[in-house]
Amino acid sequence: MTDIEDDDDPIYDDDDFCDCEEYDADILEGRAHCYRCGRSWWLTDEQMRQEIRWQAEMMECAEESAEGTQND
Ligand SMILES: [Zn+2]
Instruction: Report yes or no: 40 and 33 within 8 Å, Cβ to Cβ.
Output: yes
pTM more than 0.85? no
Mean pLDDT by 10 residues, the chain (72 residues): 58 68 90 93 94 92 79 70
Cα–Cα distance for residue pair 24/65, rounded to 1 Å: 24
φ, ψ of residue 41 in degrees (nearest 5): -155, 165
What is the distance in A from the centroid of ligand 1 to the CA of 29? 19
Domain segments of the chain as ranges = 20-66
What is the distance in A from the centroid of ligand 1 to the CA of 58? 23
What is the distance in A from the centroid of ligand 1 to the CA of 59? 26
Ion ligand 1 neighbours (CB, 5 A) are: 18, 20, 34, 36-37, 39
Q: How does DSSP assign the chain, residue by residue?
A: ------TT-GGGG-TT-----SEEEETTTTEEEETTT--EEEPPHHHHHHHHHHHHHHHHHHHHHHH-----
